[in-house]
Structure 1
Amino acid sequence: MSKLKNWFFGGELWQRNLRILWFGAFMTGIGASIVSPFLSLFIDSLGNFTHKELSFDSGIIFASTYLMTAIVSPFWGKLADQKGRKPMLIRASLGMAITIFLMAFVTSIWQLLVLRMLLGAFSGFTSNSIALMAIITPKEKSGQVLGTLSTGTVAGTLLGPIVGGMIVAHTSYRAAFALTGSIMFLVFLLTVFFVKEKFEPKKKTDILPARDMLKKITSPNIVIGMLFTTMILQLTDKSISPILSLYVRELVSNSQMVTIFSGIVASAPGLVMIFVAPLFGRLGDKIGQYKILFIGISVSLIIYLLLGFTTNIWQVIILRLFIGVSDAALAPSVQIILSRNTPIEATGRIFSYNQTMQSIGAVIGPLAGSAIAASFDYRMVFFFAVICIIFNLINYGTNFKHLKIQN
């Protein structure tokens, strides 16, 4: 027992926090993903909807969470630079625990919409974990550390849909919400008692205005380019979220297996990413994160194009596994490039801007995906994602020289 305690709490501050925050990110990933792959099916159980109504309502409810996150993230980011990242971690984990648990008791889509909006207002655990680790981690270890931290969320996201699928299949959607809220409360307790941060509170007068802060960034083109990349990544990923389980339902003849296959399809990218992300992190430290970023964008373009031509569930599962390769390259590389081009005193705000761009993409994605699915069919959403990824390639090409020099 003492050896396990020394392993978990031993080492330098950044090493101890990495282990604890990895576990917190893991639990957050489970909590966030237990129900989300089946949310459209849960919405369908709250009333009688036509195909277009279900697609539209699913898109609105998915997008509402990220719309609120986009609105409040700059405020939380400024507060994090003023008060520290640990208070933001506590705020996020407790707020998510309460709102998700209450979703188990909704009886209408309007109640669910309000709670999803509150969930977005309290979000930010992962972004603040990244910001905290980006500050305290030695530069030569940043790729490996942030890559490893990203696997925590991915591992939870991987396990969550599978566990959620089994819970829903044997109990109900509401039981999954209750379990998710309980998991997030455990994350709250771990954060309160075990996460440590050396931070000196700053007065409001000591916080640089946004304009002055941006002047201190040595490579603003890179930061802006990475923020745009983040938005497109979320837009493509979230555009298929409202229709993924509905698309699976089209491909699976056995209705009792829909939630199981939906969980497998949703978690497939994580199965790959959990192993590949740390490898890409270390490789990026050696050959340049900009090269890893290009690999991720290119792979995602090919895979989403192929997904548009799938005709059975096994093709979807296999291609979703390859999405894990692109995800393993994209998310950590963007975060690492941002951390290396951001002054310490502005880290909280820059990563909050990154979360805002994530949220903007996550708002546009579900709405666009739902509109396309309602007007055409589910496969057309994958082709929409391809168009978005092409814009990401253009953005990469525009910033290539700056990224290469910076590396």
Structure 2
Amino acid sequence: MTDLSTRLTVRRLLVLQFVSMGAMEMSGPFWPLYLKGLAPSEQAFQIASIGAYVGPMLGIMLTSTFWGRIGDRHGNKPMMIRALLGLCATQLLIAVSNDVWVIVALRFLQGACAGYLAPAQAYGVQIESPERRAQLFAHLQIATNLGSLFGAILGGLILDRAPFPLINVTAGLLCAACAAAAWLGLPIPPAKPPQAIGPSKADKHPSGAAVPVAGLLVLLGLLLMARMLTQVPFSLYIREIYGAAPWVTGLCYGLVALGFVISASHWTRALSGKPLDAILRWLLLVIAGCALATIAIGLTRTLSVMVGLFLAWGILLGATTPVVMSVISAATSMNRQGYVLGLSQSTQQFSSVSGIFLGALLSDMAGLSSIFFFVCAFYLLSLVVAAALWRRELKCRPGLSALDTL
């Protein structure tokens, strides 16, 4: 492939990422609102609400390795098309289902049959040069979050004017269109010679010091748990505290993604090339900012203030998981990248599931109005772990004081 054709293919891949993620996130904030009207009891509603979010994650966790092996044998493009068709089929089946347990089962099947993101990333790596991989992943992440933003807003607008199943029908049709576009518009990537699969210079960590990968994985997990605590109670919280329309819920849900989009690349550039101790020090400040933002969300009862705080929270999130993942990747030798990044993915899925369960449990036990105080508590716990990693790094580098990292 020429450089021009590669750039065009990458742009098509980014558009597909944006549209498919938007389709998947259209129903994201609104499952509790829909399931509450279908559930036969409060207990069934609580279980179904958790299952609607956890089901796809469990499906991905259990089948991603299998689909990855199939993709290695038959190519990533067919796996992308298969995943999009699986999303289309399950969305349409959900649209015609009115039993909460059937919907939860279909949500699990949606994750098990789909798994679009991994083959899309692998396809991008196949067509992109090693020197541009970091930029590729950054752009894919931005496309993902922009899709989440516009998908949530579109879902809210649909729900304001039509029943919830129309969201699933729309999402299913978008996924079918993406599958057709991938089939017609994405070329089969050429086989790369062995020398093109080696590490790039960007893979080397600037400090050259041993990096506590296990500690960073713990920090990554805590940060994701803090973020996912609000997944189930989010729409119920906005409705109970503010009595807002569904489109406002979608806007708030999407503003976190928007903040991430507008800040992630800036954070990456600002921290690029800095030693680990400096990165950890900045993470301390960012995590402290997340704690302040979320406790302020929990305290305020002014809608405009809350909207601004959600955007600020998203901006700070742009410097959390992407930065931690980049440090983990840079600290890992090329022959262990697959294992360590796979372990990171497992950590993220486990932490997301745990956060969803805890969020539903805590909001049920302590009330919806308290959920953001628990989010703040998890950020404070993350702050303790980040501080311990920072102090460890200072001790591992004799003669370096805390002032040297300013």
TM-score with structure 2 setting the length: 0.80
What is the CA distance between 1:184 and its match in structure 2? 1.7
What are the superposed Cα offsets for residues 312-357 of structure 1, whole Å, 9 maximum, x if unpaired?
A: 3333212111121122222332343344344556555544433322
| Residue 180 of structure 2 corresponds to residue 189 of structure 1 | yes
Match of 1:265 in 2: 252
Stretches (4+) displaced over 6 A: 402-405
Q: Percent identity?
A: 22
Matches for 1:219-298 after TM superposition, within 5 Å = 222-253=212-243, 257-287=244-274, 290=279, 293-294=283-284, 296-298=286-288
Match of 1:29 in 2: 21
Q: Which has the larger radius of gyration?
A: 2
| Residue 287 of structure 2 corresponds to residue 300 of structure 1 | no
Quick one: distance in 2 between partners of 1:338 and 1:84?
27
* Secondary structure of 1:172's aligned partner: coil
Distance change (3 Å), C-alpha of 1:348 and 1:188: farther
Aligned partner of 1:379 among 357, 369, 392: 369
Distance change (3 Å), C-alpha of 1:139 and 1:224: farther
What is the CA distance between 1:79 and its match in structure 2? 5.0
Quick one: distance in 2 between partners of 1:94 and 1:346?
32
Equivalent residue letter for 1:260: W
Quick one: distance in 2 between partners of 1:225 and 1:16?
39
Q: Relative CO higher for 1 or 2, CA cutoff 8 Å, sep ≥ 6?
A: 1
Aligned partner of 1:324 among 314, 318, 327: 314
Distance change (3 Å), C-alpha of 1:350 and 1:316: same
| Residue 95 of structure 2 corresponds to residue 104 of structure 1 | yes
Matches for 1:7-406 after TM superposition, within 5 Å = 11=3, 15-50=7-42, 54-77=45-68, 79-80=70-71, 85-133=76-124, 141-193=132-184, 194=186, 196-199=188-191, 222-253=212-243, 257-287=244-274, 290=279, 293-294=283-284, 296-344=286-334, 347-400=337-390
- Matched-pair contact (CA < 8 Å) for 2:239–2:245: yes
TM-score with structure 1 setting the length: 0.80
- Matched-pair contact (CA < 8 Å) for 1:296–1:325: no
Equivalent residue letter for 1:356: S
* Secondary structure of 1:58's aligned partner: helix
Match of 1:210 in 2: none
What is the CA distance between 1:380 and its match in structure 2? 2.4
**Most deviating of 29-38 and 220-229:** 220-229
Unaligned ranges ≥5, structure 1: 1-8, 203-217
Match of 2:202 in 1: none
**Most deviating of 327-336 and 175-184:** 327-336
Quick one: distance in 2 between partners of 1:299 and 1:195?
44
Equivalent residue letter for 2:352: A
**Most deviating of 379-388 and 238-247:** 379-388
What are the superposed Cα offsets for residues 137-188 of structure 1, whole Å, 9 maximum, x if unpaired?
A: 5566454443222110111111111111111111111011011111122232
Quick one: distance in 2 between partners of 1:344 and 1:199?
19
Equivalent residue letter for 2:106: L
- Matched-pair contact (CA < 8 Å) for 1:96–1:122: yes
- Matched-pair contact (CA < 8 Å) for 1:70–1:359: yes
Distance change (3 Å), C-alpha of 1:368 and 1:153: same
Quick one: distance in 2 between partners of 1:21 and 1:121?
22
Unaligned ranges ≥5, structure 2: 195-207, 398-406
* Secondary structure of 1:266's aligned partner: helix
**Most deviating of 100-109 and 306-315:** 306-315
Equivalent residue letter for 1:68: G
* Secondary structure of 1:45's aligned partner: helix
Distance change (3 Å), C-alpha of 1:245 and 1:138: same
- Matched-pair contact (CA < 8 Å) for 1:56–1:374: no
